[in-house]
Amino acid sequence: MLNDYPLTPRLPAADLDRARAWYEATLGLRPARVEEVSGGLWYETGGGWFHIFPTPSAGTAQNTAAGWTVNGLEHLMGMLRGRGAVFEEYDFGEMGRTVNGLLDIDGYRAAWLKDSEGNILELSEVPE
């Protein structure tokens, strides 16, 4: 039923100005559209969209909120670190653990960082 429609993540922000500054300075993203009523921010990336909206409950989720599938993950991580990004360290038990922010499970590689609002974002590289 929903196969033909893109999924559009919604990310909460306690402070939209802070979030906007972080997404621009750290990820190099600028909003494509700003909602006049709520002040929410719409970003277009890789042919898809995501929305950052104001709410006092931002940063309370302890799971990945959104992610990008990328090529050249380690190079991208280095570039983002140069812009102030901090990658998280996780222990997934038998599945593995991150080393210097990077998880590698049989060629599937992933890294996680938190935005200015505490949302967990994932960068992943899938083997071909």
Sequence spans of domains, the chain: 10-56+64-125
Give the tens place of pLDDT for each residue, 20-39.
999 999 999 999 999 988 88
pLDDT at 6: 86
Under 8 Å between Cβ of 50 and 9: yes
Strands 120-125 and 64-69: parallel
The model carries a pTM of: 0.92
Given a contact cutoff of 8 angstroms between Cβ atoms, the answer to whether 87 and 81 are in contact is: yes
Q: Give the homologous superfamily in CATH for domain 10-56+64-125.
A: 2,3-Dihydroxybiphenyl 1,2-Dioxygenase, domain 1 (3.10.180.10)
pLDDT confidence of residue 36 = 85
Q: Are strands 108-114 and 48-54 parallel, antiparallel or unpaired?
A: unpaired
Question: CA 123 to CA 128: how far, in whole Å?
Answer: 16
User: 114 forms bridges with which residues in the sheet?
Assistant: 120
